[in-house]
Amino acid sequence: MSQKQILIHYGELSTKGKNRKMFQNKMADQIRHKTKDIEKVKVLPHHDFMHVKWDHASYETIIDVLKDVPGIARFEPTYRVEKTMEAIYAKGIELFEAQTFEENASFKVVAKRSDRTFELDSMMIQREVGHVIGERFPELHVEMKKATYKLTVSIQRDAAYLSLISVQGMGGLPYGSSGKGMLMLSGGFDSPIAGYQMIKRGLEIEAVHFSSPPYTSPQALEKAKKLTAVLSRYGTPIKFHNVPFAKIQEEIKEHIHEDFSMTVMRRIMLRIMDQLLVKNKAMAIVNGESLGQVASQTLQSMSVINEVTTTPILRPLIAVDKNEIIAIAEKIGTYDISNEPYEDCCTVFAPKKPKTKPKLHTIQEMEAALNIEDLVADAVMNTEIMTIDEFYLKEQLAEFDSLL
Ligand code: ATP
Ligand code: MG
């Protein structure tokens, strides 16, 4: 019998009818994957909640995993004790002792007796435990409606279970429950946050990075890989596609007037994305565009760029301000990586005066100078793939140290 357990409350999936089982299984699989190196963890999905049970690891270790699992609204660490009132009092006091009380804090005890053979009924348990806690912590008063602390005592067949605090989860939907998309991931601030937002909304992600060596540095590519590693913390290991883009950019530089090069470049990126989507059985493109942020993100630019595809393009940051994006980057740990100075392919080839209102027919005429079909096929064929997990960052650091 496992000694330690956490009770997980689902977020929105409780409204999802017959897909509910699939949602729960996705979440359970992700938790199993993330705890596979921890001894004897059991993940047990039930209709209205999920249990994680284990024996040895600390509560903090498991809490650390659960707070980054999409689809969890909140969760409660639950403590198992012997089925005697003395053991219940002792654990209750211990749980309250770990808290720092605000002024005027209040509490209540909620008891549930599934085991009818237990000597006291739930009302009596509530009263007795409430009395002991009230005596031990005179600074707390009892409050039924809006108590600051709710101590739950559940008497079950095998033991008594107590819980006091409820930890807020990440929210959203279980990873992969909304299907799969491919994230256009630069080394900038925006695209990793776009990926995070979609992961949170249940989308499985593969990352696609366009790199242009020798014009772009190995460090720029490394940046994108490190960002992928951070994102994989919120999902499972992520497939990373590195698309060779230098030849295409040389061709654009040679044949397309500089002012229009950015629009053409982005249209080619989308054509490549479409082929990668088919190859990898994904259904949407995700990018980090935010309305009006730069020349390629005006409505006119977006409509001309978008014209090459009918695939849904998900732009979770379209209405998000830069300072809000930065705040999320700091929270999820992508800020320092995005802040590294290495430039990616778009910055290196950026025109001085990109058109903010390109005309579709002008762009189409210009593109006739390029053999787009071959360029796209070539880039797709030479795309390199690797899988990146959250330990990638640590491994890179260790490798770096060993070279010193
Ligand atoms: P970011 O901070 O994500 O780089 P940005 O504000 O700098 O975005 P752009 O450089 O115009 O904007 O890029 C818009 C979007 O196009 C990015 O958010 C990203 O999704 C995609 N993108 C840009 N450059 C690359 C690249 N080298 N590889 C993959 N995707 C890219
Ligand atoms: Mg950028």
Cα(300) to ligand 1 centroid in Å equals 18
pLDDT at 16: 64
* 184 assigned binding-site residue: yes
Contact predicate 297/322, CB 8 Å: no
The helix/strand/coil state of 31 is helix
User: Amino acid letter at 144?
Assistant: M
How buried is residue 357: exposed, middle or buried, by Cβ count under 10 Å (0-12/13-18/19+)? exposed
Which of these ranges, 2-6, 241-245, 319-323, 347-351, has the smallest mean pLDDT? 347-351
Q: What are the residue boundaries of the structural domains of the chain, listed by start?
A: 4-168, 180-403
pLDDT at 312 over 70: yes
- Residues of the chain above pLDDT 90, percent: 86
User: Amino acid letter at 338?
Assistant: S
**What is the pLDDT averaged over residues 169-188?**
96
How buried is residue 143: exposed, middle or buried, by Cβ count under 10 Å (0-12/13-18/19+)? middle
Contact predicate 345/210, CB 8 Å: yes
Q: Is 126 in the pocket of ligand 1 (CB under 6 A)?
A: no
Q: Is 191 in the pocket of ligand 1 (CB under 6 A)?
A: yes
Residue minimizing CA distance to atom 7 of ligand 1? 188
Q: Nearest 5 degrees, angle CA 281-CA 286-CA 396?
A: 85
Question: Tokens standing for 90?
Answer: 């002792």
Using the structure block, give the residue that is written with the tokens 């429950």: 177
Give 4-168's CATH code, choosing from 3.90.1150.10, 3.30.2130.30, 3.30.2350.10, 3.40.50.300.
3.30.2130.30
pTM of the predicted model as reported, rounded to 2 decimal places: 0.92
**143 contact partners, CB below 8 Å, separation of at least 6:** 106, 107, 108
pLDDT at 197 over 80: yes
Nearest atom, ligand 1, residue 224 CA: 28
Instruction: Tell me which of 189, 191, 205, 349 to substitute to probe ligand 1's pocket, judged by most ligand atoms within 8 Å of the beta carbon.
Output: 191
Ligand with the closest atom to the CA of 262: 1
Cα(98) to ligand 2 centroid in Å equals 46
Cα(147) to ligand 1 centroid in Å equals 48
Residue by residue, DSSP assigns 123-172 as: HHHHHHHHHHHHHH-TT-EE-SSS-SEEEEEEE-SS-EEEE---EE---S
Model pLDDT for residues 347-382, shown as the tens digit of each residue: 777 778 888 899 999 999 999 999 999 999 999 999
Cα(105) to ligand 2 centroid in Å equals 48
Distances (CA, A) of 61 to 50, 205, 396: 18, 25, 23
Distance CA 48, CA 8 (A): 9
Peptide bond into 214 cis (omega under 30): yes
Contact predicate 285/181, CB 8 Å: yes
Model pLDDT for residues 380-399, shown as the tens digit of each residue: 999 999 999 999 988 887 87
* 297 assigned binding-site residue: yes
Ligand with the closest atom to the CA of 350: 1
Distance CA 73, CA 168 (A): 6
Instruction: Tell me which of 184, 208, 328, 348 to substitute to probe ligand 1's pocket, judged by most ligand atoms within 8 Å of the beta carbon.
Output: 184
Cα(287) to ligand 1 centroid in Å equals 7
pLDDT at 55 over 80: yes
Contact predicate 65/8, CB 8 Å: no
**What is the pLDDT averaged over residues 9-37?**
87
Q: Name the CATH superfamily, with its identifier, for domain 180-403.
A: HUPs (3.40.50.620)
At residue 150, φ and ψ (nearest 5 deg) are -120, 115
Q: Is 293 in the pocket of ligand 1 (CB under 6 A)?
A: yes
CA 275 vs. chain centroid, Å, equals 26
User: Amino acid letter at 164?
Assistant: L
Q: Which of 104, 206, 178, 89 is nearest to 136 (CA)?
A: 89
First to last CA, the chain: 48
Question: Tokens standing for 124?
Answer: 């009596």
Cα(345) to ligand 2 centroid in Å equals 9
Q: Is 230 in the pocket of ligand 1 (CB under 6 A)?
A: no
Ligand with the closest atom to the CA of 297: 1
pLDDT confidence band for 61 (50 / 70 / 90): very high
Tell me 340's DSSP state: S
Beta bridge partners of 112: 154
Q: Is 205 in the pocket of ligand 1 (CB under 6 A)?
A: no
pLDDT confidence band for 63 (50 / 70 / 90): very high
Torsion of CA 323, 325, 331, 332, to 10 degrees: -160
Contact predicate 155/81, CB 8 Å: no
Beta bridge partners of 78: 5
Distance CA 163, CA 284 (A): 42
* 266 assigned binding-site residue: yes
Question: Tokens standing for 86?
Answer: 């003395």
**What is the pLDDT averaged over residues 41-58?**
94
pLDDT at 14: 58
Q: What is the largest CA-CA distance in the chain?
A: 87
Nearest atom, ligand 1, residue 243 CA: 28
Model pLDDT for residues 199-257, shown as the tens digit of each residue: 999 999 999 999 999 999 999 999 999 999 999 999 999 999 999 999 999 999 999 99
Cα(180) to ligand 1 centroid in Å equals 20
Distance CA 288, CA 175 (A): 19
**378 contact partners, CB below 8 Å, separation of at least 6:** 247
